[in-house]
Copies of this chain bind each other. A is one copy, B any other.
Amino acid sequence: MPSVPSPQSASAVRLEDLEDMARGAAFLGAGGGGDPYLGRLTAQHAIQTYGAPDCISVDDLDDDAPVFLAAMMGAPSVMTEKITGVDEIETALAALEQHLGRKAAAIIPAEIGGINAMLPVAIAAKRGVPLVDADGMGRAFPELQMTTFAVYGVSTSPAAVANEYGEYQIINARNDKRTEDAARQLVIQMGASVGLSCYPMLGSEVKRTSVHGTITLALGIGRAIAQGRKDGDPFDALLAYLRTTDYYSECGVLFSGKIADLERKVEGGFTRGKCVIKNDDDGDDMEVIFQNENLRASVGGKTRCIVPDLIVILDADSAEPITTEGLRYGQRVKVMGVSCAPNMRAPNALQLFGPRAFGLEEEFIPIEQRINGR
């Protein structure tokens, strides 16, 4: 667990934390994961109605406590067009609980990046169970099987998928990729974005497989940006904070410029495309390619940062993270590269979500080897 300088511990996710947490989740979404501001509204409503949920460290989790994921699945471009309710997630969660014959003692986010960082807050609040301060990515990823849970041996299935009509399907597939494929089919059949619970775990498995402390980290990132704006330079404050963390300490601003070209389409349930950023001083352009999340940032054909390290495009002034859907022609932006969690860089982890898992024919090279003068 990283040491977090914030005076508030993550003992509860309070109403006044949500704005910062959503900003941090947008940052850790690395362009993807869906817009956390929608999730924030959902979480806000749930806390106002049911009270703030406790947020507990993985260390405080009983080894045999049933822990359930709560998430939405679908193309972020579609999610932003639908009102995101908690109903479909609750339907999926209840179906999986019923199927397994055990009740959630705690809720864990699948991914700390994007909307799926915020929606579990609402579910935990409504259910009156704690939220686990951890996730399966330390960022966001486009596919179900791209988690540390899977890397370290937890099965994606049984998984439950549900829509807003109370319909659900429970998937039990022979491997994680087939679970992803089956769930993706259901996204298309059941309504473009669906509620999801998968990777049912016990506390001991959460401890062993998750990326720890990431709710606290999202909150810390969001706060650092907000505080930096008051103090004069949000990028300085953000970088200073990241350098205090265990995972995200290798970081830097890779590029500054203006969005000069943008290709983006929804295809096979994903938002795919690229954006070209023009340098302020007529040097080479930066190209960022994405599949929901930003996958590779390169300048003049040379890779500067690559998945699973985080590539984040931010507003050049406010350091507000910009999601793939939020990119606009002419925006002035800075592009940051940030190291991912160490358990996401192991060889079997890179097989699941390294460059080649996204069809990029190059090795993963950690950001610190690139920014420290390679």
Contacts and interface: CB of A to CB of B under 8 A. Distances in A.
A165 B174 contact: yes
A372 interface: no
A185 B185 CA distance: 9
Given A182-B189, A185-B185, A189-B182, A166 B174 contact: yes
Contacts of A95: 170, 172
Contacts of A165: 174
Interface residues of A, number: 19
A174 B178 CA distance: 25
A60 interface: no
B185 A99 contact: no
A365 interface: no
A185 B181 CA distance: 13
Interface string A340-366: 000000000000000000000000000
Interface in A179-196: 181-182, 185, 189
A164 to B, nearest CB: 11
Main secondary structure of the interface of A (DSSP, over half): mixed
- The residue in A98, A171, A172, A174 that gathers the most chain B C-beta atoms within 10 A of its C-beta is A172
B167 A174 contact: yes
Interface in A60-108: 95, 98-99, 101
Contacts of A169: 169-172, 182
A173 interface: yes
Contact of A172 (B167, B171, B178, B182): B167
Interface centre among A169, A171, A181 (most CB of B within 10 A): A169
A185 B166 CA distance: 19
A168 B174 CA distance: 9
A47 to B, nearest CB: 30
Interface of A: 95, 98-99, 101, 165-174, 178, 181-182, 185, 189
Pairs A-B, 3 closest by C-beta atoms: A170-B170, A168-B172, A99-B99
12 contacts: A95-B172, A98-B99, A165-B174, A167-B172, A168-B170, A169-B169, A169-B170, A169-B171, A169-B172, A170-B170, A182-B189, A185-B189
